[in-house]
Amino acid sequence: MSDPGFDEETLLEEARQAAGLSDFGAGEFREPLRVLIETFGKPPFGERGRRRARRRLLQLLTTRLRVQAALCAHPEEIRDRKIVKPVVLTGLPRSGTSALFNLLAADPAARPLLMWETQFPDPAEGLAPGEPDPRRAAIEAYQARSREKNPEFAKIHFTSADTPEECVLLHAYSLSGVHLGFEVMLEPYASWYRAQDLRGMYAYYRELLQLLDWQRPGERWLLKAPAHLWAIDALLGTFPDVSVVWSHRDPLLCTASICSMTHALLSTYADVEKQTLGPTVMDFYATSLERGLAARDRSDPARFTDVSHDDFVDDSLGVAETIYRHFELPLGPGPRATMEAHVRGNPKGVHGSHDYTLEEYGLAPERVRERFAGYIERFGITSS
């Protein structure tokens, strides 16, 4: 049973009161909201976790109201903006997508999605497009406190206001998507999400990118999320000229790492046994990979290029050059120099080491190798 007040209509009314607005936009968000409320109202969530989850849902709904107000106030300026030839990074989590994302974002022509923007996609009141947003400082202060309170998580995934961040944080404003990565591991949201046609979520995601581009335009959007594997068809349908960079790494290493990250995120909301969580995490990401590869096989192969995590570790600039050549992107002396400076300033392990094992999450190497056997064979991955 959910806590008193943790219900759909109460949350919607509190969001309206907080924002001073009433239009949430299209009603497709109502169903995932109900499923999330049901999920948070069951074990492993206790009172602390439900309170925190409730605050997060309220924040998403309040921001959605402000986004809709901006879309209604400036309909043509925002919805007529073109998201042209975006570059999207995907692949298994922990396959090197974040490090590659940060490197490619060093190119001045790239327009990455930044952490603080995922928290405030709506324009600040009275702020003209292009003006510095004072809310960025609030996010930087919050991120600094979070790093101080949880230094271990910073070793797993370092964030600041201006670090490039995953698209899933924009997807969440549809109340769908993978959210923080643990919701999709828990019922009933886990089963609900797997059954969804995600085209509606991607249509709303495009509107959010248009809104951000209207506020702070860039030359070429650079985006990233392993969760795009669930919706390659929707991604290509939404952005027909998209360039998809697919990162590959030994799935044994990816699985162990993402189990650790998922547990770290979930543990701030609920207590869950690592050995119970591990098999669920493995199946979720193996299924996402299978779904993504099947969609890729139905798509134009020119839209994709593959990169290896190990190659990136050995020669990150060489991998970047390969991507630029494949998609015929310009890489002159200036962008090359900024990338070289990024590599020098961000050596491997700069934020500390992240230690984990498969066994602590109830997984034997043989079991993981068997689950990913087709992937390992298709891409010739040397497995540990």
Residue bearing tokens 């044994």: 252
The DSSP code for 177 is: S
pLDDT of res. 353 = 60
What lies within 8 Å, CB to CB, of 374 at 6+ separation is: 290
Lowest-confidence segment of 112-116, 121-125, 221-225 by average pLDDT: 121-125
- Whether 175 and 114 have beta carbons less than 8 Å apart is answered as no
Q: What is the pLDDT of residues 293-307, one digit of tens each?
A: 999 999 999 999 999
pLDDT at 158 over 70: no
Contact present, 144 and 256 (Cβ < 8 Å): no
Instruction: Give me the percent of the chain exceeding a pLDDT of 70.
Output: 93
CB neighbours of residue 83 within 10 Å = 19
Largest CA distance in the chain: 61
* Residue 64 to residues 12, 237, 330, Cα–Cα distance (Å): 11, 24, 37
- Rg of the chain over CA atoms, in angstroms? 20
Do 82 and 314 touch, CB atoms closer than 8 A? Answer: no
Return all residues near 307 (Cβ < 8 A) that are at least 6 apart: 96, 100, 245, 246, 247, 248, 319, 322, 323
Tell me the angle at which helices 333-345 and 316-326 cross, rounded to the nearest 10 degrees. Answer: 150
Q: Is the predicted pLDDT of residue 359 greater than 50, yes or no?
A: yes
**Token couple for 364:** 């034997």
**Nearest partner of 291 among 240, 229, 235, 361, judged by Cα:** 229
* Residue corresponding to tokens 């923080």: 180
pTM to 2 decimals?
0.92
Instruction: Tell me how far apart the alpha carbons of residues 294 and 291 are, in angstroms, rounded to a whole number.
Output: 5
pLDDT of residue 162: 87
Q: Across the chain, what does the average pLDDT equal? A: 92
74-378: CATH topology: Rossmann fold (3.40.50)
Angle between the N-to-C axes of helices 8-19 and 47-73, in degrees from 0 to 180, rounded to the nearest 10: 50
SS3 of residue 306 by DSSP:
strand
Please check the confidence at residue 34 and state whether its pLDDT lies above 70. yes
Q: Which DSSP helix (H) or strand (E) runs through 246? A: strand 243-248
Q: Helix H segments across 218-372?
A: 232-238, 251-266, 274-297, 309-314, 316-326, 333-345, 365-371
Mean pLDDT of 227-246: 98
Q: How far apart are CA 96 and CA 91, in angstroms?
A: 9
Better-scored residue on pLDDT, 141 or 238: 238
Q: What 8-state DSSP symbol labels residue 308?
A: E
Q: Which two tokens stand for residue 234?
A: 């929707």
H or E stretch including 91? Answer: strand 87-91
Domain ranges of the chain: 74-378
352: left (phi over 0), alpha (psi -120 to 50) or beta: left
Asked if pLDDT for residue 1 goes beyond 50, the answer is: no
Reported as a pLDDT band with limits 50, 70 and 90, residue 141 is confident
